[in-house]
Structure 1
Amino acid sequence: MLQTPAHSGKMTLSAGSAHGRSLLLYNGNFFRFGGKKHYTWVWIKNGMIQDAGYRSWEPTYIRDAEEAIDLKGNLVLPGFSDSHVHFVPSAVDRMKVNLNGSRNFEEIGQRLKDWVERHPQESTVHACCLEVSDLEEKRPPTRNVIDHYLRDYSVLIESRDFHYTVLNTRALHSSRVPFTMEGVELDERQRPTGIFRGKANAFLRRKTADSYSWEDKERAVYELSGRLLKKGVTSIHAMEGGYGFPESDAEFLASCGPKLPLDIAIYFGTTSPEKVKRLGLSRIGDLFLDGSFASGNAALLSNYEDHPGNGTLNYSQEELNSFLLRCYLADLDTSLHAVGNRAMEQALIAHEYARQKTGNVYLRHRIEHAELTTELQRKRAAALGLTFSMQPAFEYYYGGSHSMYAERLGERWRQTNPFREIRNAGIRICGGSDSGLTPVNPLVGIYAAVNPPVDENRLTIEEALSMFTRDAAWAVREEDYKGEIEIGKIADLTVTDRNIFLTNPKNIITAEIIMTIKSGSVLYHNL
């Protein structure tokens, strides 16, 4: 037996290493939902919780355990699930220049120049995570702006919300994007500004993604897996392929995913149910019905506050009805990206149509984001049994009276992400990050759901935790063996450095993960 009263902070990445292993965790505070008495110890064998209790354990456990860990009274939660991760793109983004937090064009230019100085052998600069709402100029830089800093390199800059790309002149000439393609922004002289949205943006994003090799992607997703384990994440719902993302990412992840130390449920972003079936998958999406608030193209029922128009729908109602009908008939669980309430209306009409045509009530469909909805829409969604896959951290980063939401929506910022009203309507919510839009960190999501800018929208800590554990497991049909600390369930556990149920709710965001256990194997520890 190996006694481990303290750990060094190391991390081990290994998939499937728990088979046959036995582990005793004791002197812990193992959280259980619904007011059940918390366990103080659990016995794990073959990756499963085989036994648990409150005081003493079976004497043979301490004798047979290959490892026994004193948790020193720390809180133990179910392993976290992030229900919305663009996993392959997020991993690959770490190889690009990160422009997140840039305050103005000058800082963007300096970051690009710094990267070139460190990589003098490169002729192309890929940058990502540009957030217009952070910029003093409140608009994307044009190709002429980027040329001012880097003229002799091809520069491609992707927005943080994936909805536009900026090229400098050199990159523009080599991009081969037809200037007549939808989404190519033109100046008053009908010349490209270097800003590409819509179909042109999707074309460029796929082209950029395809420039990375299989080996590059394998290294990137393996490294990102380690970072997620440090955040207590043991499962993710990966949104791969789709509008602006290559379908090959879904095929790549279906192949290499089983080698990774996380459980990955893939939603294949294609409009072809047949492709999903050929890959042996059972989930399709997330299909982008509209854009985002950051880019000002989420589809609203009324106009934006800060610019003309009410956003864009990417599909006609007839197209979406046909697509969902085919998914219902193919028994596929679906995921639809609907940020604004006009996109939500389109999604509800399509689901009502497919339900009426097929009578299929056994599928588990979800709406991604659902940031702005009406009371009637929430009632209809509940009647359809839809799950809302939401990102509470959006309220942390974008919410409040002096925020991006307020700039775009005016007083409607008070209506965004109404978690309490959604739960009260009977809708299940699973929580995610939308990485790389916001970082993968479920504790930030829990904090944001408990401390939203609008007090009436707040959830309890247990409700917020459920979004990233129990409800996330239900959304992908894993509730029988995941999402809770109970005998007979997989030993996916995360240990925090403080009891978030007893601390001031405002301090949840400062909590740290000190151990992550996946299927009975300790893959990260700093106890």
Structure 2
Amino acid sequence: MQLLTNGYFYSLNKNNDIYKAILIDRDKIVDCFFNIPTISDVEQIDLHNKFIFPGFIDAHTHFVETGILSLGADLSLTNTVNDAIQLLKMTKPIDGIIIGYNFDQYNYDEKREFTYKELNSVSKTTPLFILRKDGHSCYLNEIAFNLLKLNPKTVGIITKNNKFCGILRGQANSIASKFFKSQIKNDGKIIAFYKAAELAINKGVTTVHAMLGDAKNDLSDLLLYENIKNELHIKIIPYPQVFDIEKVANLGYNLIGGCLLVDGSFGSHTAALMSSYADSPGNGVLYHSDSFWYNFFMNAEKKHIRVAVHSIGDRAILQILNAIEMAKQKHSKSNLQHIIIHFELTPDYILDKARELDVQLVMQPVFEYIWGGKGKMYEQVLGKERIMQTNRFRSILQRGLLVAGSSDAYVTPIDPLLGIYSAVNHPNPDEKISKLEALRMFTTNAAEVSGDENNLGKIDKEYIANLVVLAENPLATERIDKIKIEQVFINGMGLVLRGV
């Protein structure tokens, strides 16, 4: 047994109790003390007046992809197209592919995407795959494009003068992303699991919700995880990321999806909006029909399986809410709480409908930090009026909706402290939330989304001893994002943090 003492243990229970010591037996907290007790025959660990919170939970990650991409070229480290091209030229291929990630033209001096000539200058003999930061556009050189063998009628092949210009969006981007990921061998994916786990633990994360699958019918990543899960220090809550409800039910899971796409993203102009984008014609893409989603939710309800979908634009969110509503009318006794991931552009009537249907939300506060506010990407693509309706944390909580926090890694880094800081400092003052509310997004609320509210997300008796030790109190400092993580305990075991 271990007695962790001389710290400020923030329980985040209903009374918000703060303990001075806790007793751990193997992986469980067995007692909590308001004063430091005298107990013999236990290992005592002095935490030197640090601040201890439940281990953070990241409720939405592309986990394997995060690990794979971290081995490629991080283009957020560059400020110009030329610098990006030079970095890609120096990047070692992964299983024969040059990979770049975190590209966002809005952060570049030129404010533009790559030309086909620039992409081909990286290599004429090795396939080049660059994923845009939002994951909804990618950039290929000629050899990579030829490897894909896309049907010319595939939606999302961007052309100039009837010739491919190096950019894929929408359906074409999805095909390319799945293809190039499939080229990574299992040994590489296992390395990716460990790398992503290391990135998470170093940021105080003890549990991640991970989408494992190809968003069609391939669950090989999930099966690979099942083979190595006991070797990973971090707790992973797997989301079978396929459309095959029967297959998921037969495997014994009660949750499907995570990033089953209803629409795309704002930055790629593929998020489905009620009205046109502010900076270009069109109002985005709905990837499936109303009847498709109605039937999908109907089948999920029959199997008593919760569904988690990616839905960003107001038109896409309304499509999903309507499908859930119709399915529940057919299954009037259903108490399933389905999950909408992102839930970004939400006028009041959408918030009210979400409350009526008792959906759960998983959102990414860092999106506002990166893209929200005056002059940033949201304003450019949506206009000044609609940016007042993005990521409405205060309005959501006021309606009693459950919202959990996440990174959407690889889209943004796994970093709950930055997420908490972002929610507290929302650029729209009406949508800011308190520090405690933001902390709960990445602890108690995230645990409730996965049905783990009785064993994760709090420091209390009978809870798993997953803890993060912080150098400063996030409830008492303004620069929450700068707080140093001193230690992480997972299943009662203190882990050594490594620089990554």
Given the two structures, how large is their TM-score scaled by the length of structure 1? 0.90
1:349-371 Cα deviation digits (max 9, x unpaired): 00101110112432231100011
CA distance in 2, matches of 1:295, 1:379: 28
* 1:47-58 correspondence runs (5 A): 47-58=27-38
Q: Which position in structure 2 is the counterpart of 1:19?
A: none
1:478-510 Cα deviation digits (max 9, x unpaired): 00111111111111111100111122x2x1111
1:30 aligns with 2:6: no
1:94 aligns with 2:67: no
Q: Which position in structure 2 is the counterpart of 1:211?
A: 183
* 1:38-187 correspondence runs (5 A): 38-60=18-40, 63=41, 65=42, 67-115=43-91, 124-187=97-160
Q: Which position in structure 2 is the counterpart of 1:266?
A: 238
Displacement, 1:374?
Answer: 1.4
CA distance in 2, matches of 1:247, 1:143: 34
**Alignment partner for residue 405 of structure 2, among 431, 436, 441?**
431
Q: Which position in structure 2 is the counterpart of 1:234?
A: 206
**In the superposition, relative to structure 1, how do residues 525 and 158 fare at CA in structure 2: closer, same or farther (>3 Å)?**
closer
CA distance in 1, matches of 2:61, 2:381: 25
Identity %: 32
1:327 aligns with 2:307: no
Displacement, 1:168?
Answer: 1.2
Count of residue correspondences: 495
Q: Which position in structure 2 is the counterpart of 1:192?
A: 164
**In the superposition, relative to structure 1, how do residues 326 and 82 fare at CA in structure 2: closer, same or farther (>3 Å)?**
same
**In the superposition, relative to structure 1, how do residues 258 and 314 fare at CA in structure 2: closer, same or farther (>3 Å)?**
farther
**In the superposition, relative to structure 1, how do residues 97 and 508 fare at CA in structure 2: closer, same or farther (>3 Å)?**
same
Does the Cα contact within 8 Å between 1:237 and 1:264 map onto a contact in 2?
yes
SS in 2 for 1:379: helix
SS in 2 for 1:177: coil
Displacement, 1:302?
Answer: 1.1
CA distance in 2, matches of 1:459, 1:166: 37
Does the Cα contact within 8 Å between 1:266 and 1:281 map onto a contact in 2?
no
Displacement, 1:257?
Answer: 2.7
1:220-268 Cα deviation digits (max 9, x unpaired): 2112212211111010111223448964323322332343111111112
Moved over 6 A (4+): none
Displacement, 1:519?
Answer: 1.1
1:190-246 Cα deviation digits (max 9, x unpaired): 221121122222221111111111111112211221221111101011122344896
**In the superposition, relative to structure 1, how do residues 140 and 241 fare at CA in structure 2: closer, same or farther (>3 Å)?**
farther
Listed as ranges, the gaps of 5+ residues in structure 2 are none
1:287-308 Cα deviation digits (max 9, x unpaired): 1100011111101111111111
SS in 2 for 1:27: strand
Displacement, 1:152?
Answer: 4.2
Given the two structures, how large is their TM-score scaled by the length of structure 2? 0.95
Q: Which position in structure 1 is the counterpart of 2:381?
A: 408
Q: Which position in structure 2 is the counterpart of 1:455?
A: 429
* 1:296-307 correspondence runs (5 A): 296-307=269-280
Q: Which position in structure 2 is the counterpart of 1:290?
A: 263
CA distance in 1, matches of 2:142, 2:352: 50
Displacement, 1:113?
Answer: 1.8
CA distance in 1, matches of 2:198, 2:167: 35
CA distance in 2, matches of 1:216, 1:360: 45
SS in 1 for 2:91: helix
Does the Cα contact within 8 Å between 2:262 and 2:288 map onto a contact in 1?
yes
CA distance in 1, matches of 2:54, 2:458: 5
1:152-209 Cα deviation digits (max 9, x unpaired): 4332212122112211123223332222222212222x22112112222222111111
